[in-house]
Amino acid sequence: MATKITPKKSRQPVKKEPTSFMSKLTRFLFKVLLWFFGLSLFFVVFFKFVPVPFTPLMVIRAIENKAAGKEVFFSHDWEPIENISENLQKAVIASEDGTFLKHNGFDFVAMQKAYKSNERGRRIKGGSTISQQTAKNVFLWQGRSYLRKGLEAYFTVLIEVIWGKERIMEVYLNSIEMGNGVYGAQAAAEHWYRKDASSLTPMQAAGIAAILPNPRKYSATSSSSYINRRKAKIVRVMRTVGKIDYLK
């Protein structure tokens, strides 16, 4: 009996559906976000325990001075909060963020007032809290873009939850610009008053706090009448702050 031979069918390669551009982009963005959240959380936890060595603003100022042909310098000495006068802590609360000890990172009343004043075209101090300013100074760049404001809000929530008020104040007082090339309470106390940050008087602390809106323009000593009025007002408000208790 003859055997019937059936010809083998040639195997055709299975065609894979081409990966769309959008699916590639989605996967890429997901990985970027995953890395961003992981790294941001790592650095926030890291700086809860480790002094912040420098900030983006310090780098930006150095680049600006270099581009302008000026001397590149900055003074920055980290001090734990117990070595910083409570007068300075009260002064920055009085001048920058009166509800610092009560809010959770955002003062929506101040933000609303700032928005309304801006709508009327007035010059305003802004509605940013000490927590927001700290988040911006340590982790972000200067500017007013929606992206930066969104990231500022994100980092503000993180440091409020992970750091707490005392650490936020400690980092704030050690990182903000307090003069031309002067960063932090200790450097400012030495620059303006030739003394340690631990021994600042109420008026001296008010002098430093008074120039924070523009520390490269204004002077904490031999001040203009405008700054002197700010100093007097800050000292008056400081009396209402009372004893600072970060555990409240």
Nearest to 160 by CA among 192, 181, 140, 133: 133
Question: Strand pairing partners for 179?
Answer: 182
Residue-wise pLDDT tens digits, 124-181 = 556 789 999 999 999 998 888 899 999 999 999 999 999 999 999 999 999 999 998 8
Domains of the chain by start residue, with CATH: 38-67+82-241 (1.10.3810.10)
CA atoms of 26 and 22, how far apart (whole Å): 6
Question: Strand pairing partners for 182?
Answer: 75, 179
Secondary structure percentages of the chain, helix, strand, coil, to 5:
60, 5, 40
Residue-wise pLDDT tens digits, 65-77 = 888 877 777 788 8
Q: Cβ neighbours of residue 186 under 8 Å, at least 6 residues apart?
A: 77, 78, 79, 83, 84, 174, 196, 197
What is the pLDDT at residue 142? Answer: 83
What is the pLDDT at residue 16? Answer: 55
Q: Are 88 and 206 in contact (CB under 8 A)?
A: no
